[in-house]
Structure 1
Amino acid sequence: MIELKSVLLEEVGPEWRKAEEITEAHIFIYVVSGQLTYRLNHQDIPLTKGDVLFIPKGTLRAGIGDGTQMHQKFAFLFQSSGAADHTSIPLLAHKPYLLLHTRNHEYMKQRFSLLLQQWLGKLPHYELICTGIVLELLGIAAREADHADLPLKKLSMVATIQQYILDSYRGQIRLEELSQLVDRTPNYVTRIFREVTGQTPIDYLHQVRVYAARDLLLNSPMTIGQVADQLGYCDQSYFNRMYKKITGHPPSNHTGHQAIGQRREERA
């Protein structure tokens, strides 16, 4: 079983530095924006938006910003309790590290946001919920690492669809529209998208919308109804259901999000 030690969100300037030291726990890092470089066992590992880096316990680690822009990253630190974890959690077998570029950027952000909310809120059973989210993130990374050899044509097709959704999510998007975009049938698009990302294009659309809604509700004076309408939900009750399905709580409940980034138990 794993023991979660810390969850954090860092937003730091271009001159950020991490002094060289031995890591005392496994570290899982997800870069939300910007660029930085880690030096692991004397090897430089450049990171940019969408990159995932797993650093095993015992790695000699240092870090530095790119000198021109700030970066933002999520991270969690954890310990594994026994040899059985290396069988059930494939990432633990990766030495000296694992680096990959996630194909599901928005979903990764959403899950990390929920993880941090639960960790900071410390409501009843938060440990169990946090462990579940951590295992999911480790599983997603392991699956994407296994699928790294997927044909480039499939990856390119899914990337095209994802980018179209990111550019157009405020409007009405239909599966037929996405299939015409890549000149394939709707069934083929759904099957390939699920093969690469683990979800359907429509599920991905809802996740992008809900993540955008969360930002608007936290950082603008807009009401829930106004946010729902702006993001293409004509029915606010449907928006409420989708929001709760994806985040685990209704859009009216943002207690705990305001604390994001305020509590740092160990810097990544």
Structure 2
Amino acid sequence: MQLTGFHYDKSSTWNEEQPNERPDWTLIFVIYGHCVYWINEKKQVLEKGQWLLIPSETPFYGRSVPTKIHEKFVLHVNAQAAQDIFPLLQQPSYTCRQTGKFDIIADRLRLIHRGWQDKQPYYMALCEAHLQELFVYLQREWDQAATTSATALLVEQMKGYIQNHYREHVTKDELGTCISRSPNYAASLFRQVTGQTISEFVHVTRIKTAVYMLRHSALTVTEIAEFIGYNDPSYFYRVFRRMTGLVPTELVSDRETIRK
């Protein structure tokens, strides 16, 4: 990974246009205020703590927000040798993220800036060592976000399964099969993300349906209980009261007039 350019901006009148296909990648990190970039005609507002990585050969334009001072570091990097190491450098489009490691990243950028300005012996080797360390932090955050997205997708798959089978006895084995994971992993992941056990979520789904049916259908309380999966009406009463603070008959008394 080779550093080919570095500058620090502090301005309220800055603007920059890169219409040509620059061979290097561009990394921008805002440490104060905010500014605006257009990449492939898409607008991207950058605020404090956000970084923007623009691939090589990608035209872009940027400017300050009028009358608003912002501060940022801008690096140009020949990343060819590092593309196999960092998946971020394999992305075909630009990447923008809010960092959770502001102080660490800002510190590394200040060290690179100082070295780039002072140009002491072996400064380039030191700057590029800091640069590679910086990309390790960025890549870790990117990976964590991707993992979070994948995890959320698995939970949504399980929720979808429950929505389609809530009238049945839904088990962790079935949800594990649904997401191609072990039953214990499925149960643990579901609780970690939703804050509810599988059983609790099933009850919530059933009771939501019961509330609607008690108000809008012509079925009796017992028929509704059986329809949503409770074969014992007294158990349905207990669950319903625990979750809503009401008893089913209270909703039946307020039921709409059903046209027959």
Q: What runs of 5+ residues in structure 2 fail to find an aligned partner?
A: 150-260
Is 1:8 the counterpart of 2:7? The answer is yes
Q: Please list the CA deviations of residues 130-184 of structure 1 after superposition, one character each: whole Å capped at 9, or x if unmatched.
A: 11111111111111111125769xxxxxxxxxxxxxxxxxxxxxxxxxxxxxxxx
After superposition, where does 1:51-70 map in structure 2 within 5 Å?
A: 51-70=50-69
Query: 1:175 maps to what in 2?
Result: none
Distance across 2 between alignment mates of 1:29 and 1:73: 7
Q: CA deviation at 1:81?
A: 3.8
- Match of 2:92, SS state, is coil
After superposition, where does 1:1-268 map in structure 2 within 5 Å?
A: 2-13=1-12, 15-22=13-20, 23-82=22-81, 85-148=82-145
User: What CA RMSD, in Å, does the superposition of the two structures yield over aligned residues?
Assistant: 1.8
- Match of 2:68, SS state, is coil
Distance across 2 between alignment mates of 1:24 and 1:64: 22
Distance across 2 between alignment mates of 1:30 and 1:68: 20
Q: CA deviation at 1:108?
A: 1.3
Q: CA deviation at 1:16?
A: 2.4
Q: CA deviation at 1:25?
A: 1.4
Distance across 1 between alignment mates of 2:23 and 2:148: 38
Distance across 1 between alignment mates of 2:27 and 2:18: 17
- Match of 1:88, SS state, is coil
Over alpha carbons, which structure has the higher Rg? 2
Runs of 4+ in structure 1 over 2 Å off? 149-152
Q: Which amino acid aligns with 1:125?
A: Y
Higher RCO structure, 1 or 2 (CA under 8 Å, sep 6+): 1
TM-score normalised per structure 1? 0.52
Distance across 2 between alignment mates of 1:19 and 1:125: 32
Q: CA deviation at 1:47?
A: 0.6
Q: CA deviation at 1:6?
A: 1.3
Q: Please list the CA deviations of residues 224-268 of structure 1 after superposition, one character each: whole Å capped at 9, or x if unmatched.
A: xxxxxxxxxxxxxxxxxxxxxxxxxxxxxxxxxxxxxxxxxxxxx
Q: Which amino acid aligns with 2:83?
A: H
TM-score normalised per structure 2? 0.53
- Match of 2:19, SS state, is strand
Q: CA deviation at 1:5?
A: 0.7
Distance across 1 between alignment mates of 2:143 and 2:108: 21
